[in-house]
Copies of this chain bind each other. A is one copy, B any other.
Amino acid sequence: MTTIKDVAERAGVSIKTVSRVLNEEPHVRAQVKERVLEAARELDYKPNRAASRLAGGRSFLIAHLYDNPNPSYISALHIGAARRCRELGYHLVVEPVNSQDKDLLGLVRRLFATIAPDGILLSPPLSENTEFVESVRQLGGRIALISATHGDEWTHISTDERGASKAIMAHLLGLGHRRIGFVRGHPQHFGATLRYDGYCQSLVEAGLELEPALVAQGYFDLQSGLEATRSLLALPERPTAIFASNDEMAVGVLMAAREFGLNVPEDLSIIGFDDTPMSRLISPALTTVRQPLEAMGAAGVETIVSPDKAPRDYLDFEIILRDSCAPPRG
Residues of A within 8 A of B (CB): 1, 46-54, 59-61, 63, 71-72, 74-76, 78-79, 82-83, 86, 89, 91-96, 107, 110-111, 113-116, 222, 248, 251, 255, 258, 277-278, 281-283
In the bound assembly, the distance between CA atoms of A222 and B281 in angstroms comes to: 8
Q: Give min CB distance, A262 to chain B, whole Å.
A: 14
Residues of chain B within 8 A of A59, CB atoms compared: 50
Per DSSP, chain A at the interface is helix
**28 A-B residue pairings within 8 Å (CB atoms):** A1-B113, A46-B113, A46-B114, A48-B116, A49-B50, A50-B52, A50-B53, A50-B115, A51-B54, A54-B54, A60-B115, A71-B74, A71-B76, A71-B277, A72-B72, A78-B94, A79-B96, A82-B95, A86-B95, A86-B107, A91-B93, A91-B114, A92-B93, A93-B93, A93-B94, A94-B94, A248-B281, A278-B278
- Tell whether, in the assembled complex, residue A89 and residue B114 are in contact, meaning their CB atoms are under 8 Å apart: yes
Known: A60-B114, A96-B78, A222-B281. A54 touches B46 (CB 8 A): no
Cα separation A48 to B53 with both chains bound (whole Å): 10
Report the Cα distance A79→B70, complex, angstroms: 12
**In the complex, which residues of chain B have a beta carbon less than 8 angstroms from the beta carbon of A86?**
95, 107
* Residues of chain B contacted by A248 (CB below 8 angstroms): 281
| Assembly CA distance A255 to B111 (angstroms) | 47
Report the 7 A-B pairs with minimum CB-CB distance, sorted nearest first.
A71-B75, A46-B113, A50-B53, A71-B72, A71-B71, A50-B54, A50-B50
